[in-house]
Copies of this chain bind each other. A is one copy, B any other.
């Protein structure tokens, strides 16, 4: 069985999205600054079906590594495509484009049952209405020996951390102070999680730190 893990870009002051995340700006005000390090990598450009000339080097190696051995993803409904109120008549397929960068099954936590939505490139969105345990179970089954990635957002990650099922995670700390927004680690309480540093990778644009949950 693979690992359950997540990878999140975060500001130095601990926000994974800026203030006022909304339908047309899901990362909130300034939140795109957290991802600048990633957008310029060759690995990201390739995964998103676009462009030449991305940067190679450490950030690129980290980006490529995060999708290695990933057999399925779990994500919140907001990350798929906004609140269900935004999904309209069912033709809305999320904001990841026709060929989303996942290329494996993605299990979306929602309160609204919906048929699976197959996309180009191997991504299929499955909609799970019976809770985080069920979503993880379905994702594990789909992933086989592969890892399950908890894609986000922060509150979904927090639920899985609290449930004690996360094996490993990586934060990509951008040299940015957002001053407000969505905190990656919030409401987790004290002493619930014991962590160990797996490694830290230095780069000019971001600091990648991987932790194991003991």
User: Contact: A188 with B13, CB < 8 Å?
Assistant: yes
Q: How far is the CA of A196 from the CA of B199 in the complex (A)?
A: 21
Q: Does the CB pair A200–B200 fall under 8 Å?
A: yes
Expressed in whole angstroms, the Cα–Cα distance for A177 and B171 within the complex equals: 13
Jot down 7 A-B pairs with beta carbons below 8 A, ordered by A. A12-B211, A179-B187, A179-B189, A196-B204, A197-B206, A197-B207, A202-B202
Give the residues in chain B near A179, CB-CB below 8 Å.
187-192
A14-B14, A30-B190, A197-B204 are known; give 12 further A-B pairs, CB within 8 A: A13-B14, A14-B185, A175-B211, A177-B192, A178-B190, A179-B187, A179-B188, A179-B189, A179-B191, A201-B202, A202-B202, A207-B207
- Enumerate A180-195 residues with CB–CB distance to B below 8 Å: 180, 183-193, 195
Which residue of B30, B185, B191, B202 contacts A199 across the interface (Cβ within 8 Å)?
A: B202
B12–A195 touching, CB < 8 Å:
yes
Q: Which of chain A's residues 10-26 have a Cβ closer than 8 Å to chain B?
A: 12-14, 18-19
Residues of chain B with a CB closer than 8 A to A183's CB? 13
Tell whether A173 is near chain B: CB-to-CB under 8 Å: yes
A191 touches B30 (CB 8 A): yes
The interface on chain A, measured as residues whose beta carbon lies within 8 A of the other chain's beta carbons, has a size of: 40
Q: How far is the CA of A177 from the CA of B169 in the complex (A)?
A: 14
Contact partner of A197 among B29, B175, B188, B192, CB < 8 A? B175
Residues on B with C-beta less than 8 A from A19 are: 190
With an 8 A cutoff between CB atoms, is A209 at the interface? Answer: yes
Query: A197 CB to closest chain B CB, in angstroms?
Result: 5
Counting chain B CB atoms within 10 Å of each CB, the highest count among A191, A197, A206, A209 belongs to A197
Using CB atoms, name the residue of chain B closest to A161: B177
| Closest residue of B by beta carbon distance from A204 | B197
| A199→B200 CA distance, assembly (Å) | 11
Is A176 at the interface (CB under 8 A from chain B)?
Answer: yes
A177→B199 contact, CB < 8 A: no
